[in-house]
Structures are given as C-alpha cells and as structure tokens.
Structure 1
Amino acid sequence: MAHLLLIDDDPALIPKQVRLAFPAPTHRVEVACSGVDGVGRVRADPPDVVLLDLRLPDQSGLETYQAIRRIDARIPVIFITLARSADAAIEAMRQGACDYLFKPLDLQQLRRVVDEALDVGRRMLRPAAVAEELTDPGLEGAIVGSCPAMREAYKVIGLVSDQDVPVLILGESGTGKELVARAIYQHGKRARAPYRALNCAAIPEGLLESELFGHERGAFTGADRRRIGKFEQCNGGTIFLDEIGDMAPASQAKILRLLQEQEFDRVGGNETVRTDVRLIAATHRDLKAWSAEGRFRPDLYYRLGVVTIHVPPLRERGDDLLLLVQRFLRRFNRELGRDVREVAPAAMDRLRSYSWPGNVRELQSVLQQALLRATDSVLLTSHLPDDLLESTRASRASVDHLMVGTLAELERRAIQECLIQTGGNRQRAAGRLGISTRTLLRKIQEYKLEDPLHPAAWPNG
C-alpha cells in the first residue's frame, strides 16, 4: 500500500482530487492542513510521497520542505502551486524536490508524477543488500548470488561505496546493473541523500541534455519556463546513468566537464551551476572498443572507468540460477496469488539448459508467465512459455547433432589408425576393432577411406 501525505489547507477540493486519483485500499492518503502538522506526521510515520502546497497558513511551503528534508531527504516531495510564475516551485526543484504541479490539478498528470515519485522513493529506500543465500525473507531487493564473478563484484561494492570516485558497471542488458548501483549508493556516505536513476537510451537525444542539466526559458521551442535538471536537483546525492554508451557526443562533453569540475551550464544558459553529485554509470556496450573507434569519448571512458564492476550474464552464474528462481517464486507467489513451492526436476533442467539472452530480467518474465499457468504447488515443464521450450528443444537438437558428428569423427579416425597399424589388412583391422569384415568394408565406404595406407589423401584426414 502506497502512503501519500497531502499538506494543503484546502479542506475539500484538493484532498478529494487526490483520493479520487489514488483510491483505497491500494493507497492511503493522509491530509495535514498546516506545515507544522505535516512535518509532525512525516516524523511520526514517514510517507512514501509528500504532496506539498507552496502556500500554507502557518509557514511557507519551502520552509516546510526544508524541515522534511532534515528528517529524511530521501522522501520524494511534489509541490502544488497556484502561482503561474512558479518561481518558488523552481527554487524547490533546485533544492531537490521531485516535481511541481499547478492548481487545479490535472488527475492524469497527478497520477503520472506521483507514480514516478513512488518509483524514485522505492529505488532509494528498498534494500539492495548483498545476500549469498535467501536467509532473510525481508531482503526482496537483495543482490543474490555466490558464483565467483558475483563475489568479486561484492568485494568491489564494499571497497568503493564510501568513496566519491565514479563507478562504471559493465554487463549485458538485464543482468542487474541498477541493483549494483543502488547497493553502492545505500552502503555509502550519501545513503540518506537523494538518488536519481536515468536510462540514457530511453530518452530522445534532443531531450537528454535538458533532462540532465536543465534549460533556461526560451532555450528551444516549447521551453516556456526554466527547468531544473537532474544534476542540479540531486545536489549532494547520487545519480545513476544507465546505458551511458548510448549518450550523444555533446552530452558526453558536459558529463566530462561535470566529473572534472562539478559544474555545468543549463541548455540555453550562460550561468555556471555548481553541484556536488556522485556519478555511477552503466552500459552493455564495450566502451573500450567504442572509444578506440571514436564512438565514445576516450577521455570520458577513462574518467568513468576509475573503478569498474563486471556483472556476469545469467548463463555464466551456475547454481545462482536456482537461488534466483527460489527468490522470484516467493515474490511472484505473493504478487500473483499463487502457492508454487517447488520446481519439478524436468522443468529446472529446461531452465538450466536455456541460454538466457535477456538474463535475470528474462528469468523474471518467464517465471511470472509460468506461475500464471500453474494450478498447484509444483511448477511443471508444461507451465513454461512456449518460446523457451522451443528454444531449449532447438538447443538440445544442436547438441545432439554435434555429438553425433563428434562420435562419427572419432570412429572414422579409429578405423583409419587401425588400418595403418595393420598395413591395410582389413580382416586383422576388423578383429582389432571388434566388428565384422563386412561392417568394416561398409564403414570404409561410408567414410571414403579409399587409400588406408595414405591417410593424407583422405577427406579431412
């Protein structure tokens, strides 16, 4: 259940709109009519998101916001304002607020902004601890695994968490790079400061700079007011840039400047903005090769790669697969209302024989689909998605074909060697091989062993 706290002195309209947008029982909406009351409620029972009016009867919204930040700077705060100039709301964003909305509220926009804030809050507050085994049922966000590559990753996380150096996380898509980033953040000295995550590949090139660095009014068509970017908004905290390898060259240059000098300019602005942000980046690209090819700035690659963590693909993690299956079964049982307690050996064999191109993210999807098909406490092969079954069948057929080819090659070479040793005497060779002379003649014809005393002339000899 998501807990929303609305701090607003409007006794009827705004609370009604918020409760309409976020109905019970999936949401709990609490209302405070003054800044002091709101701060007291935050201290007594921290909400998941705060909706805060800029104009309150006892103190300003900014004063209330600063008091909330002193309690816990990780609580996402969304400002609500009647003033169209939004100067105070922009200042709040500069100080770290999540977003701001204008009255009267647009319910669709309200839902979108609050959902985004809830996601931000979950990333900051949900544990991303390291758990080699599932001994603690409360660690739903734990990084699970005990294979050598994961153990090495844990060591590096522990070593760099308290340092302010950039960290570059490498690994295929779906391996859990964002979990590693959150673990570094949560174990570090900035753990009670804001954390923001952004996928560079998911934002159009023309908008990414504005999203990261903000823009001034009139910087481009549609820029009707100043916008505060993530680096300014997250001052004092940590930013995670996923898929940084997909970032455009202009943005790369500004990131390099920020890493070197902790300053930047908003898009369309001349004012230099100072900030204090720790950067964690991730990519599935080979940035070393890309920088050599001119597709990524070499100076930025070397600056980012001071500390590098490799997250292995699922197909290379051995018995970690079973740990992950157990973890996700427990989670999806609760979410989907199922009671699947074990995986049939044949189904587990299929999961083990699959190559998992989508890694842990794909495993989650497969198990969700399987649980929706399951009707009792055991997950069977028939519950697995059809495309996975087809893929494992094709893989097994390929292995079988390879095995047949390997055995045939071994047999051909054994016959060849035996004929050489017997000087081409087929009867003696058949005796040594334990087969009849007729069978040997058939094999010689099958393998085209036309000149057994000159193997160099044989095909593939």
Structure 2
Amino acid sequence: MTTVLVIDDDRSSRHLIKSGLNGHLGLQVVEAADGDAGLALLEETRPSVVLLDVYLPNHNGLELFRKIKAIDHKVPIIFITGDTSSETAIEAMRSGAFDYLSKPLHIDQLRNLTQSAVRERQLMDEPVALSVGDADSGGERFIGSSKPMIEIYKQIGRVTSQSVTVLIRGASGCGKELVARAIVQHGDRGTAPFIAVNCAAIPDNLLESELFGHEKGAFTGAEKRRLGRFEQCDGGTIFLDEIGDMSPIIQGKVLRLLQEQKFERVGGTELITTNVRIIAATNRPLEQMVEQGEFREDLLYRLNGFTISLPNLTERREDIPLLLEYFLRRAKADMNRPEMVGIAPAALDLLCKYEWPGNIRQLQSVVRQSLLNTTGTVIGPENLPDFIRSSKLVTSPVASESSKGDQVSPPAIDPLRL
C-alpha cells in the first residue's frame, strides 16, 4: 500500500479525502488534525505524499512545509486550502509545493493529482538515465564528442592562429557565436577586444553607424562623434552575426574594410585605418542571394576565406545526453536547485528522439522549462513541455542503442559526473 498523509484541522475535509483515496489504486490514508500530530505521523509512516492545509491551529502551513521537507526532502506536498487568493497560491508554489488544491475538493481532481505525486515520488527512487553532478555556473563551452563535432574542433584548430576571415554557417541555435569565441580564445588575439554584432537585430539606418561610427551632425540626433565597432575593436576581432541581413550599401563598406582595413565614419571624410579580424556567420543561403542580387558576390568571396559549417542537433544525436547534463548543471546553479539528481529514463528517451528544430538553443530552453515544472529531484516525462511529449518521434542512434541494451555514450545508467 502507498501511504498518503493528510494534515488538516477540518474534519469534513479529512473525511472526504479519506473516503475518496483510501483503497483507490493501492492508496492508504493516515490523518492528523494539527501540525504536531502530522509531524509525528510523518516520522512514523514515511508517506509517499502529504496533503497539507495552509491554515492550521498553532501552525502556519508554509512553516510546517519547511519542517516536513527537513525530515523528508523527497516527499511531494500538495497544499489544500479554502483561501483562493493569488498570494497564497503563489507562495505555496514558490515554496516548492507539488501542487495546490482549493476547497471544495473534487474527488477526481484529488485522485489524479495524488497519483501524479505518487509517481513523482516513486521516480525519485528509480535509477536515473542521466545523473547530474554539482551545479555549474561557469561560462559557456563546447559540449560534444560526436564525429561531426570532432571535425568542428579540428577546423577551429586549423584556423585559430591564422588571420583569414572565417564564415560560420549553420541553422539558428547551432552555436555559431560559440565557434567564433573559440577561434578568438585559442588564437593570437585572445586577449584583444572581441565584439559581437547581430546585423539582423539593428535597423539598416543604425547598423552603418553602429559598425563605422559617425561624426557630429552626420544625421539628426548625432550630437557628438561616436566611434564605431570596427574602431573600438582595433587589434581584436569582430563577429558579424546574420551577415546575410546587411543592406547592399553596408555590404560595400564592409568589403572595402576587408580589402584595405580602412573606412570612413558616417558623415566624415577622414580615412581611418584599423587592424581587425572579421568572423561572420549566417543561416541564409548566400549563394542563392548572390544569384538574386541580394548579396554581393565579391563580398561572399572575401568572407569565404575559411568556412565552418555547423551540424544541426539531429545530425549529432549522440551528443544530446552530454548537452542535457551540461545545461541541467547550469540550470541547477542558476535556479538554486541543489537537490536535483537527474533525468528519468523515459524522459531521456523522449528528449533524445525529439527533432529539435531550434537546435541547442531550444534544448537549453527545454531543460530550464522542465526544471521549473519539477518539484522533486528527478525530471520525468510529465515535467517535459507538451510539445516534446506529443511530438512525432524519430528513431535516433541514442534510442536504438538503448533498445539493444547497450549504454548510451556517455553511459546511460552509469551516472555521469564531472
């Protein structure tokens, strides 16, 4: 039998809960009318779920919640109360409650929620498919040991000490800026300025000034001279993300800078010399844009000094467990969730089979969403976003290896620890 502890001073509520849950799918209800009796029963019965009234005689439910968690930090707690104010619900969930029920209680909702809490508690005692070590609040870094990523590492190593322009290509969310930062970090300009500019995020009429600066009076609102990014970055590296979104006029000025390392500020005549390395990135088909007259062919040749093409996440599925562990460790630190243990096998299977149209950026977001949805210590399938659970799944290398009984690389059952 699975024990459910009810702590509520309202006798009619205790009777309703007991009659609704006792014997239902193996549930056994024990009850207490006050906090002290509830704590004693908690020690004696070690329930799988606690149903706790927010307002108790001689006890504040939220304070009692903390005492219960100090005794058994894994037990899911469902708050029940006749107070329907938003403040009470918010504070209950903020404290880490599994869920919150308002009186009058409805039997079907009570049963479904209690069963969900029981499953979460059981999940905490099962071996996780992916365990997470200590929280990691360090900076971003490359994660992956798949063949496509090993090739990317090699390409970065070949070009890092050279002065050639690098064009990084790949879908949105693949980590193009991370590649640019790695090239700089391991190169001769590692301690020099590094500036990233998203060309798609800045309107054309402002992008020219952003990159090349302007003189006082160059346009309405230009009350003083402003140094552009190319000037600020002298001796360093500038990363031009989404370069395919540049207007033809700015493309021409960037081409001249690449050819001569010289430019003029907007509204100025002084020729300024700079020593800057350009790393560009795009997710757009530049060759097709050249044919359509949307992108300069000569600029494309200049940018193509060395090209690094990043794979989609679906092309490196074997890296998904490593990425999940890395992002979970970071989220664990950011969200102050030291109790988090890892990801359950069924949840890992769903995550490894998902198509990931948003690539690594989407995976990182899903990890954070899932952690927010988890009140226990293990992320289960029910904690994943709806679109992950309802998506049309694919057969992945990770999944097929698991189905054969082999270990996922890194090992799926043997905990992964850094």
What TM-score, normalized by structure 2, do the two folds share?
0.60
| Distance (whole Å) between structure 1 residues aligned to residue 207 and residue 389 of structure 2 | 40
Matched, 1:322 2:309: no
Give the match for residue 227 of structure 1: 226
Whole-Å separation in 1 of the counterparts to 2:201 and 2:389: 31
Pairwise CA distance, 1:137: 6.5
> Within 5 A, what are the aligned runs for 1:227-306?
227-306=226-305
> Match of 1:316, SS?
helix
Q: Which amino acid aligns with 2:333?
A: R
Alignment match, 1:342: 342
Letter paired with 1:372:
L
Partner residue in 2 for 1:155: 154
CA apart distance, 1:387: 2.6
Q: Distance in 1 between matches of 2:280 and 2:301?
A: 13
AA of the residue aligned to 2:157: G
1:110-132 CA-partner distances (Å, limit 9, x unpaired): xxxxxxxxxxxxxxxxxxxxxxx
User: C-alpha displacement at 1:277, in angstroms?
Assistant: 0.2
User: How far, CA to CA, are the matches of 2:312 and 2:351 in structure 1?
Assistant: 14
Gaps of 5+ in 1: 1-133, 400-461
Larger-gyration structure (1/2): 1
2:362 matched to 1:362? yes
Higher relative contact order (CA 8 A, sep 6+): 2
Amino acid at match of 1:294: G
Contact 1:329 1:341 in 2 (8 A): no
Read off the aligned partner of 1:348 and give its amino acid letter. Answer: L
Q: Kindly report which structure 2 residues correspond to 1:8-19, keeping only aligned pairs within 5 A, or say none.
A: none
SS at match of 2:200: helix
Residue 189 of structure 1, CA deviation? 0.3
List per-residue Cα deviations over 1:380-401 (Å, max 9, x = no partner): 01111123323x1xx14x99xx
Report the 3-state secondary structure (helix = DSSP H, G, I; strand = E; otherwise coil) of the residue aligned with 1:169: strand
Q: Is the 8 A contact 1:193 1:238 kept in 2?
A: yes
Q: 1:332 to 1:310 in 2, by over 3 A?
A: same
Distance 1:144 1:194 in 2: 25
Q: What is the CA distance between 1:376 and its match in structure 2?
A: 1.9
Q: 2:214 maps to which residue?
A: 215
Contact 2:136 2:332 (8 Å CA) reproduced:
no
AA at the equivalent of 1:257: R
2 CA distance for matches of 1:250 and 1:238? Answer: 22
Aligned partner letter, 1:311 = L
Q: CA RMSD in A?
A: 1.9
Partner deviation per Cα, 1:141-176 (whole Å, 9 max, x = no partner): 221112222111111110111111100000001110
Aligned-partner Cα distance in 2 for 1:189–1:138: 27
The one-letter code matched in structure 2 to 1:325 is L
Question: 2: CA distance between counterparts of 1:234 and 1:285?
Answer: 26
TM-score by length of 1: 0.55
| Counterpart code for 2:244 | G
Query: CA separation in 2, counterparts of 1:364 and 1:285?
Result: 23
C-alpha change, 1:139 and 1:163, in structure 2 (3 Å) is farther
Return the alpha-carbon distance in structure 1 between the equivalents of residues 304 and 134 of structure 2. Answer: 34
The 8 Å contact of residues 340 and 374 in structure 1, kept in 2 or not, is answered as no
User: Contact between 2:145 and 2:319, CA under 8 Å: does it hold in 1?
Assistant: yes
Is 2:203 the counterpart of 1:189?
Answer: no
Q: How does 1:75-224 map to 2 (within 5 A)?
A: 140-224=139-223
Instruction: State the shift of 1:292 in Å.
Output: 2.2
Aligned pairs, how many?
A: 262
AA partner of residue 179 (structure 1)? L
- Describe the shift of the 1:139–1:162 C-alpha distance in structure 2 as closer, same or farther (beyond 3 A): farther
Decide whether aligned partners of structure 1 residues 160 and 139 sit closer, same or farther in structure 2, where only a CA change above 3 A counts: farther
Does structure 2 retain, via aligned residues, the 8 Å contact 1:195–1:234? yes
Secondary structure in structure 2 of the residue aligned to 1:319: helix
Match of 1:9 in 2: none
Deviation per CA, 1:163-196: give whole Å up to 9, x if none: 1110000000111000000000000101111110
Instruction: Work out the CA distance in 1 between the residues paired with 2:370 and 2:136.
Output: 22
Q: Which amino acid aligns with 2:332?
A: N
- Structure 2: unaligned runs, 5 residues or longer: 1-132, 396-418
Q: Secondary structure at the match of 2:317?
A: coil
3-state SS of the aligned residue for 1:279? strand
Change (3 A) 1:186 1:136: farther
AA aligned opposite 2:249: A
* Cα pair distance change 1:188/1:346, threshold 3 Å: same
Q: Which amino acid aligns with 1:368?
A: R
Q: Look up the SS of the partner of 2:357 in the other structure.
A: coil
Alpha-carbon distance between aligned partners in 2 of 1:232 and 1:361, rounded to the nearest angstrom: 31
Q: What is the CA deviation profile of residues 217-260 of structure 1, one whole-angstrom value per residue up to 9, with x for unaligned ones?
A: 11111111111000001100110010001111111001100000
> Is contact 1:140–1:331 with CA below 8 Å preserved after alignment?
no
Matched to 1:205, the amino acid is: D
In structure 2, the residue matched to 1:351 is 351
Say which structure is richer in helix.
1
Closer/same/farther in 2, CA of residues 136 and 164 from structure 1, 3 Å limit? farther
SS in 1 for 2:308: strand
What does the per-residue CA deviation read over 1:333-359, in whole Å, with 9 as the maximum and x for residues that have no partner? Answer: 111122322211111111122111111
2:309 alignment counterpart: 310
Q: Indicate the residue corresponding to 2:62 in structure 1.
A: none
Asked if the contact 1:171/1:284 (under 8 Å) is kept, the reply is yes
